[in-house]
Amino acid sequence: MDLSSINPILLAASLMVAATPILLAAIGELVVEKAGVLNLGVEGMMIIGAVTGFIVAVETGSPTLGFLAAALGSAAFSMIFGLLTQYLLSNQVATGLALTLFGLGFSALIGQSYVGIRAPLVPDWNIPLLADVPVIGPVLFQHDPVVYLSLVIVAGVWAFLKYTRAGLVLRAVGESHDSAHALGYKVVRIRIAAIAFGGACAGLGGAYLSLVRVPQWTEGMTAGAGWIALAIVVFASWKPWRVLLGAYLFGGIAVLQLNLQAAGVKVPVEILSMSPYLITILVLVIISADRSRAAMNAPASLGRVFHASN
């Protein structure tokens, strides 16, 4: 065992990369749940984004087009959930689970001829001057554009929900869809827009896995990332900045366990591999141990079916 082989600067930089797909999926799901919709299909949307983005990037040679296709493809895929739950009034939990199962199966079907192919390189952005600062530069300012985009999305969602009229309307729909409807707001349209945004973010997260983190297509490569994103949203009490902390916590533990394996730590590899999931959930549960406060932060209409005639 040689712990001196672990480079703390490289570890911190890798943390941001590892956290990005979870962060993107979680911040999208936060907006969906703020609108009062519980979509358990995050895993399915992520895997659809992963395969769509990979196929388009390989065929065009452009990772940018791959990420764009992943966002659009997963947003379109999420409309299956939106149609069934918002117009046909199906159960949100059952429909979300079905969406995940369908996404996993469909992605395996369309991606089978792309197994083993390398994705085109996504270049890093070395921000002038800042990238050369010792320690801080390599950690914060030498990443690919999607890492920075994820942070911009988090800040944008926070500002949207806190300071804009549209964000206030979306939160009102999530708190009491009947009251929002009585005031003349189009509840179904607002929720459909939120579902599409959540799908797009999940697609970006999935594409990040297949185009940056691996980078190649492998069946089932999301490996539970969508479920972790769901857990982070709930245990972060539906607050964007706590979602950011939760995602980075998961990313840090995931990177650390890989470094510990490489350093030859005498712990069964299975325990190290499952440690990011266990520790992330444990810490987030402790953070939100006050159940009454967590319940107050949950959108009051979360998961409830809306019908205009109610």
215 within 8 A of 118, measured Cβ to Cβ: yes
Spatial distance between the Cα atoms of 96 and 226, rounded to a whole number of angstroms: 12
Rg (CA), the chain: 20
For residue 280, the model assigns a pLDDT of 66
Is residue 136 situated within a structural domain?
Answer: no
Identity of the residue numbered 35: A
Is residue 224 situated within a structural domain?
Answer: yes
Is residue 122 situated within a structural domain?
Answer: no
Tokens matching residue 284 = 């987030």
Domain count for the chain: 1
For residue 38, the model assigns a pLDDT of 94
For residue 213, the model assigns a pLDDT of 87
Is residue 258 situated within a structural domain?
Answer: yes
For residue 135, the model assigns a pLDDT of 79
Q: Residue 272 — φ and ψ, nearest 5°? A: -65, -40
Count the neighbouring beta carbons within 10 Å of the beta carbon of residue 83: 14
User: What residue ranges in the chain does DSSP mark as E strands?
Assistant: 125-126, 142-143
Is residue 81 situated within a structural domain?
Answer: yes
Which residues are 90's β-sheet partners?
A: none
For residue 132, the model assigns a pLDDT of 76
Per-residue pLDDT of the chain (310 residues; tens, 9 = 90+): 555 666 677 778 888 899 999 999 999 999 999 999 999 999 999 999 999 999 999 999 999 999 999 999 999 999 999 999 999 999 999 999 999 999 999 999 999 999 989 989 888 888 877 777 887 888 888 889 999 999 999 999 999 999 999 999 999 999 999 999 998 999 999 999 999 999 999 999 999 999 998 889 999 999 889 999 998 898 788 999 999 998 998 888 878 777 676 666 666 666 766 766 776 667 666 655 655 555 557 898 888 888 765 5
Is residue 107 situated within a structural domain?
Answer: yes
pTM of the model: 0.91
H-run or E-run covering 230: helix 225-235
Residue 53 lies in domain: 3-116+141-297
Is residue 25 situated within a structural domain?
Answer: yes
For residue 12, the model assigns a pLDDT of 81
Exposed (0-12), middle (13-18) or buried (19+): which is 270, by Cβ within 10 Å? exposed
Task: Give the distance, in angstroms, between the CA of residue 235 and the centroid of all CA atoms in the same chain.
Answer: 15
For residue 308, the model assigns a pLDDT of 67
For residue 108, the model assigns a pLDDT of 94
Q: What is the CATH number of the domain that holds 291?
A: 1.10.3470
Kindly give the interhelix angle for 187-208 and 63-82, rounded to the nearest 10 degrees: 140
Is residue 306 situated within a structural domain?
Answer: no
